[in-house]
Structure 1
Amino acid sequence: MVTIAAALVMVSSLPVTATADRTAMRANVVPSEQVGPRWERVEVESSAMGRPVTVDVLHGAGAGPRPTLYLLDGVDAEGVSDWLSKGHAADFFADKPVDVVLPAGATGSMYTDWEHPDAALGWNRWETFLTGELPGAIEPYLHADGRRAIAGVSMGAQGAMMLAHRHPGFYRGVAGLSGCYSTLVGPGSAVTALTVASRGGNVVRMWGPIGTVDWLTHDSTIGAEALRGTAIYLSAANGLPGVPDLDAVLHAPDMLAALQTAGGGMALEAGARVCTENFAKRLSDLNIPATVHYEPTGIHAWEDFSAQLGPAWDTLAAALGK
């Protein structure tokens, strides 16, 4: 296990790399479908990904221009974000003065740039797309005001925090719900590897063997100093089922399958709680302010994730001046 002190020594010896020139990256937005009054689906043609990426947009309330919130899905991240199909995001943001951008298709990818194509997960250059291509395409399309924040759940929480710490100042705020924020410290490498493997991916295709440089530089616990000045919200439950979780099992068409899923959700959320506590302590040790909320009950399930969207938005809204 790598300690933070040892990792910081390793980081200090790495060469300084230049931030990508975002002005040189181009992507086109092609309207695809009007799903609802303020819900639009577009295709963003990405050179980095080598394909069009489906992106759902929730247009905000009130007169523009408005800030932009990039909202990342969990490990499934398929054709439509689970924030929309399970997390009630469209209803929640219907009266909020922010445009919400939800990319799809990042299944098991960690929202990062992979070193090599993967037989199961394909070619992934999500960091380049999300920070280099998508903002420069979608924000002019939305007539945005240039203020932006990023948030995510589970894999998306880790991805959001990685992007925020690797691109200091690019986002005014970041929110992580039920995530793990290390790739090396504590259980971080195991959580990261299991996330990728759970959808058939080979984690060595992502950043190389565990413990090598890319694993180090994607660790938000190690790189937490770069988050200074960014508004931060963290939340996690403890893995104990609450009333919404029990109701979901009771009303499931297959109660046995729902019980098995709930059991996995209990273990995952207990792990997310440990990860969140470790990351919150690291921020506290560095005197970096963060709003941290621990739920007394809850498992790794959308009934619980959606309940944290409101408190997370409170922190992000303040950072965005809303």
Structure 2
Amino acid sequence: MVAVAMLVFALAGVWPTAAEPATATAARLVHIEERSPTRSAVFIDSAAMGRIIQVDVLHPADGGARPSYYLLDGLDPGAGQSTWTNATDAEPFFGDKRVNVVLPVGGQASYYTDWQQDDPRFGRYQWETFLTAELPPIIDAEFNGNGVNGIGGLSMGGNAAFILAARHPELYRAVAGYSACPDTGMAAPAIMFSVANRGGNPLNMWGPPGSPEWGAHDPALLAERLRGKTIYLSTGTGIPGKHELEIKPQLPENLVFGGPIETGVNACVVSFGERLRGLGIPAQIDHSLTGTHSWSYWQDTLHASWPTLGAALGA
């Protein structure tokens, strides 16, 4: 599949073009819109991406220092808000918890990484710089963050969460993936296909699979950097379960493809779990006997993960 994708790009003549280097100017807070006493929309002028990025924050109604949990979206983020708030009960669930839940808005098929080249479809993607360098100081300053952070995400966002935790181990105390494959090498065909399927050129991200940048973004190869962190992973098997009769308009194709996708994710999670065990790195891995790649299951596992993640963050 990777070879086919590369051939398509070669024939179409859409090879990567050089991007201008990002400036060193700090990101600037534009404004904050209070949507409720426990939810705010933050608009940040990102120097790295050269545009304004919206970030939704769920936060306690009162003051006091608290940790922050950066929670990433999937391949097709919601418009105007994170799909976590659109498709799950994340907002009421975190309403009584002393934590900032930081929800970036946008980043379709970005893998929340710094792309090597600007993309004709997506423009400038420098999400790693935004999430790890530009955003945390603003969150801590505006929402009483105490410098303790965790990161998680579903599907694409879970893969990205493990990449960012492995590449920036000093920044995160805990990492979680909901139906996520943290083995970039194993997921390479799916990553290439998913970006191309959304109209982007995956070669603009890390170059061709097998290049050094793919290895530099592979948590399976960088797993030693996860030692000492609280690690949570969840997966179903792809076998239909209790939520299959529910319709989630946020991702209707999962009614058809959710089973096969989750089957592949499950194989990856099993393999990654074995990798961690081989290194003596503890992890909580929730394997469900049923369940597809869909939002109702991610809501369930968000709830199931929080006692572990909240304890690690001191929330």
Measure, in 1, the Cα distance between the counterparts of 2:121 and 2:108: 10
Secondary structure of the equivalent of 2:42? Answer: strand
The alignment's TM-score, normalised by the length of structure 1, stands at: 0.86
Looking at structure 2, the residues matched to 247 and 85 of structure 1 have their Cα atoms a distance apart, in angstroms, of: 15
In the alignment, the residues of structure 2 paired with residue 62 and residue 278 of structure 1 have an alpha-carbon distance, to the nearest angstrom, of: 43
- Aligned partner of 1:318 in structure 2 is 311
Partner residue, 1:220:
219
SS in 1 for 2:107: coil
On the 8 A contact 1:157/1:180 being kept in 2, the answer is: yes
Aligned to 1:140: 141
CA distance in 2, matches of 1:154, 1:145: 28
**Percent identical:** 43
Residue 40 of structure 2 aligns with an amino acid whose one-letter code is: E
Does the alignment pair 1:306 with 2:299? yes
Q: Secondary structure at the match of 2:95?
A: helix
Residues 251-262 of structure 1 correspond to what in structure 2 (within 5 A)? 261-262=254-255
Contact 2:254/2:293, CA 8 A, preserved across alignment: no
The Cα of 1:28 is off from its aligned counterpart by 2.1
Q: What residue number does 1:178 align with?
A: 179
Structure 2 gaps of 5+ residues are 1-23
Q: What value does the CA root-mean-square deviation take over the aligned residues?
A: 1.7
Does the 8 Å CA contact 1:60/1:100 hold for their aligned counterparts? no
The code of the aligned residue for 2:28 comes to: N
Distance 1:26 1:316 in 2: 30
- Among 280, 283, 290, the residue aligned to 2:273: 280
Report matched runs for 1:223-302 at 5 Å: 223-248=222-247, 261-302=254-295
Provide the secondary structure at the position in 1 that maps to 2:309.
helix
Mapped partners of 1:290, 1:56: distance in 2: 29
Is the contact made by 2:63 and 2:144 (CA closer than 8 Å) also made in structure 1? no
Q: Deviations over 1:130-182 (max 9, x none)?
A: 00110012211112111110010000000000000001121000001101112
Between stretches 24-33 and 228-237, larger displacement belongs to 24-33
In the TM superposition, residue 198 of structure 1 has moved relative to its aligned partner by 2.7
How many positions carry a matched residue from both structures?
290
- Give 1:60 deviation, angstroms: 2.4
Amino acid at match of 2:68: T
SS in 1 for 2:66: coil
Unpaired runs of 5+ residues, structure 1, are 1-23
Instruction: Give the TM-score taking structure 2 as reference length.
Output: 0.88
